[in-house]
Structure 1
Amino acid sequence: MSRSGSGPRTRVRTAKGRRVSSTRWLERQLNDPYVKKARADGYRSRAAYKLIELDERFGFLKGAKRVVDLGVAPGGWAQVVRQRLPQAGLVGIDLLPTDPIEGATLLQMDFMDEAAPDELKAALGGPADLVLSDMAANTVGHPQTDHLRTMGLVEAALDFACEILSPGGTFVAKVLAGGADSHLVAELKRSFTTVKHAKPPASRKGSSEWYVVAQGFKGA
């Protein structure tokens, strides 16, 4: 199949014991050009290209010396950071285990744990230039509940970013369709010089995810 995805689609037969939704997911993975590209380029997930595309548009990785990656597993974003900023300090956190990444400190714990912010600060060893958050709450199938849970994570990530970012720093976070709500946008605009929403090409068209990119942290 071609990398562009223009070749014939791979069909997956519904196996005994496999749910229809699982079959659809597997078929989508097999036919996703970004999944194939990630495998060829050595990235752990297709999400790496979301960060690459966001950085190509906004240029927030350049010059960053300390970076925090919230929701780091499986490590695609962290791989991009290490490639583009080999000398930068990098600390990631996730409830799920993440295979080691050379030059990165990876914490396996819940970011919502009261101890998490201090653990991250201690591991980073100084103020951050960039806080990345690709966190999303586990969905329960109820749109309003799923939205509230994910936006709660974004708000917690923003609070943390405002504690650890150095002046001029950047905060990048996954939000849902419609972007950040008015309250969160107001908080972002109070704390950052520019606030933009973006949906990188690598984000699936049917996905409700968007990203907010807040640059020029004004300082605490």
Structure 2
Amino acid sequence: MSDKLKNTRLLKVKVKSNKKRTESSRRWLERQLNDPFVHLAKEKGYYSRAAFKLIEINDKYKILKPGTKVIDLGAAPGGWTQVIVEKLKSEQNPKSKVIGVDLNPISSIPQATLIVSDFTLESTQQQLLEMLDGKADVIVSDMAAPACGMVDVDHMRIMSLVEEAYLFAQEVLKPGGHFVAKVLRGGTEANLLKQLKLSFEKVSHFKPQSSRQDSAEMYVVCLKFRQR
């Protein structure tokens, strides 16, 4: 990953202001045009630059293996699901199973089952259990509530989603399974972190290189679920 980026030379693009474009939209467009991961995602055919975050997590922690069952929470627009299908070699391995769920529509991804629904609903979680047909080997979550700009509120909202994902993981993960979820700077709240450490043999915080440096996001990576 890093070697590839070192060889990615982009000319700095400046976006001029005009009356039809707000200053925030100009900054966003300029950032996109100058982001090597955006260009690399287009080159590789990924639906989003976020795909490289999961690639980096998997490179470090080796959580995705062929022949396993994986649930992707907050899957839209589909970049993580694409990576999971690749790493599980789903096309060649019929034992692999990939299920993605999100509130927003997800572009079609061969070898993956996609659900457009609210993960926090009991009916959606029951649907996932039925489709899984057994226990999951890995649950990953890139879920995030829309940011309001108030740090405390944004942190509370995303931690609520992490807790929902963790409670679900407790019910459906196989012993030895893995759990990954997005959190915000400051990491996982002490109480939840304590619970995670009781449920998993190893718990770490990780910020991928592909996560923008000015972003408060990072990931909690929980390895080897302990059977209750």
Q: Which of 129, 132, 137 pairs up with 1:121?
A: 129
How many residues are matched? Answer: 219
Q: Which of 8, 12, 31 pairs up with 2:11?
A: 8
The answer as to 2:38 corresponding to 1:30 is: no
**Does the CA contact (< 8 Å) of 1:64 and 1:129 recur in 2?**
no
Determine the structure 1 residue equivalent to 2:72: 69
Q: Which of 98, 104, 110 pairs up with 1:90?
A: 98
**Does the CA contact (< 8 Å) of 1:34 and 1:202 recur in 2?**
yes
Q: What displacement does 1:63 show?
A: 4.7
| CA distance 1:203–1:44, shift in 2 (3 Å) | same
**Does the CA contact (< 8 Å) of 1:3 and 1:36 recur in 2?**
no
Distance, in Å, in 1 between the alignment partners of 2:72 and 2:10 is 35
Distance, in Å, in 1 between the alignment partners of 2:197 and 2:67 is 21
Distance, in Å, in 2 between the alignment partners of 1:117 and 1:108 is 12
Can you list the C-alpha shifts for 1:57-89, whole angstroms capped at 9, x where unaligned?
111112561000000001001101111111310
**Does the CA contact (< 8 Å) of 1:73 and 1:96 recur in 2?**
yes
**Does the CA contact (< 8 Å) of 2:187 and 2:218 recur in 1?**
yes
**Does the CA contact (< 8 Å) of 1:38 and 1:45 recur in 2?**
yes
Extract unaligned runs of 5+ from structure 2.
none
The answer as to 2:203 corresponding to 1:195 is: yes
TM-score normalised by the chain length of structure 1: 0.95
Q: Which of 190, 197, 204 pairs up with 1:182?
A: 190
Distance, in Å, in 2 between the alignment partners of 1:29 and 1:199 is 20
Can you list the C-alpha shifts for 1:79-120, whole angstroms capped at 9, x where unaligned?
011111113101111000001111111110111222121011
Can you list the C-alpha shifts for 1:157-208, whole angstroms capped at 9, x where unaligned?
0000111100000000000001101011001011101001100111111110
**Does the CA contact (< 8 Å) of 2:10 and 2:36 recur in 1?**
no
Greater Cα shift, 156-165 or 117-126:
117-126
Structure 1 stretches of 4+ with a deviation exceeding 6 A read none
Question: What are the residue-to-residue correspondences of 1:123-202 with 2, within 5 Å?
Answer: 123-202=131-210
TM-score normalised by the chain length of structure 2: 0.92
Distance, in Å, in 1 between the alignment partners of 2:53 and 2:41 is 11
CA RMSD of aligned residues (A): 1.5
Q: Tell me, what secondary structure is at the counterpart of 2:210?
A: coil
Distance, in Å, in 1 between the alignment partners of 2:20 and 2:139 is 41
**Does the CA contact (< 8 Å) of 1:94 and 1:110 recur in 2?**
yes
| CA distance 1:169–1:69, shift in 2 (3 Å) | same
Q: Tell me, what secondary structure is at the counterpart of 1:136?
A: coil
